[in-house]
Amino acid sequence: MLLQLFNVDLTLGTFKLDSVTLNVDQQEYLIIIGRTASGKTTLLKTIAGAYRPSSGKILIDGSDITTAPPEKRNVAYVSQIFSSFDPMNVQGNIEFGLRARGVPKPERAQLMNGIVRDLGIEHLLDRMPATLSGGEQQRVSLARALVTSPKILLLDEPLSMIDPETKGPIIRLLKAIPEKYNIPVVHVTHEWDEAYALAGLIAVMHQGRIIEAGDPEQIFNEPRNYHTAKLAGFYDMHKGVATLTDSGSTIKLDNGLELKSRMKISGSVYACVRPEGVKIRTSNEFNNFEGRIVEVFREKFGFRIIININNIEFTALAGSKPTRGDIVKVTIPEDSVYVVPNTGI
């Protein structure tokens, strides 16, 4: 393991990182995902050396760097905002780390030329950072980080300031980094699509704790708790009580509505349904309801509609525009009802 965190605790005002344990392999692409203020950026900055844990250990390549200053960790941190070092031009920015380390000028030029060629930014070297587009700034940030040959690359929401057309190429670039440079990447985001596209491993953070970690497919299809399911795209999550049946379980929601699921589970649960699992005007053996359309939103693929069924709202997708207030027949196939136990997280 190249990066290991053992029971890392940290208190910052009222916020607390709570016993964080992580293991990251040499060429792993780890995504840490969580809602705003879940602690993901704090964790990343703790690995970078901005904060000193109150207890626990951080090891990089077997060396304990828990109390080492950032410049002694050999990790490269790329922040959410483009941290340009003014008034240096792009070349000055990329060479900054090498200059700080006392690398002689000819060697600096050689290292920089290699990295700018890799990232396709040779033509930007004389430009001032303020004149670059979001995508160009992010490439320069990556070049500046990678040219120092870090042992780990730490990315704090690197796609948040980039327009949608530029995201695709940058995502390809990021995905190639672990193998190309033989380093692990730890990338923090709150965007599920970004996480799903890039991750080799996903860790979900909530209130300063890692509540779930696993491969992306497992986290997406079989989340183990409420907050992971919410991040993984289950729009509608309703509390209820599950009882086992021959073919799965029946979940009696708090409003009396009964949903059948193929999952065998009992007790206090959340019934989770993705919008694509809610079908309008089709029939099924179970889970047929009548509801009223209470809101319609335009989306890229058509329309997202909110349907009120017995005072509980479900989200569905529609190709043609429905009318608000219409009464519609709704069915939710049993295999579209995913159930997570109500564990309080």
Give the whole-angstrom CA distance, residue 179 versus residue 78: 19
Report how far residue 12's alpha carbon sits from residue 32's, in angstroms, rounded to the nearest whole number.
19
> How many residues are there in the chain?
345
CB closer to other proteins out of 73 and 230: 73
Q: Which is nearer to other proteins, 132 or 242 (CB)?
A: 132
Question: Smallest distance, Å, CB 269 to other proteins?
Answer: 41
Count of H-run helices and E-run strands, the chain: 8, 20
With H, G, I as helix, E, B as strand and everything else as coil, classify residue 25: coil
- Min dist CB 179 to other proteins, Å, is 22
**Placement of tokens 């860790």 in the chain:** 203
CB 204 within 8 A of CB 213: yes
- Two tokens, residue 287: 């889970």
Using the minimum distance from each CB to other proteins, give the nearer residue, 97 or 240: 97
Instruction: State which residue, 28 or 156, has the beta carbon closest to other proteins.
Output: 156
CB of 61 to other proteins, least distance (A): 16
CB of 83 to other proteins, least distance (A): 4
Q: Check whether the bond before 104 is cis (ω within 30° of 0).
A: no
Residue 210: beta bridge partners? 205
Question: Least distance from C-beta 170 to other proteins, angstroms?
Answer: 18
Return the closest-CA partner of residue 278 out of 249, 252, 307, 250: 307
Q: Using the minimum distance from each CB to other proteins, give the nearer residue, 70 or 341.
A: 70
**Pairing state between β 279-280 and 288-299:** unpaired
Least CB distance to other proteins at residue 98 (A): 8
Q: Tell me which residues touch other proteins (CB under 8 A).
A: 45, 48-50, 69-71, 73-81, 83-87, 96-97, 100-101, 144-145, 148, 150, 154, 156
Nearer to other proteins, 8 or 48 (CB): 48
Query: Which helix (H) or strand (E) element contains residue 100?
Result: helix 90-100
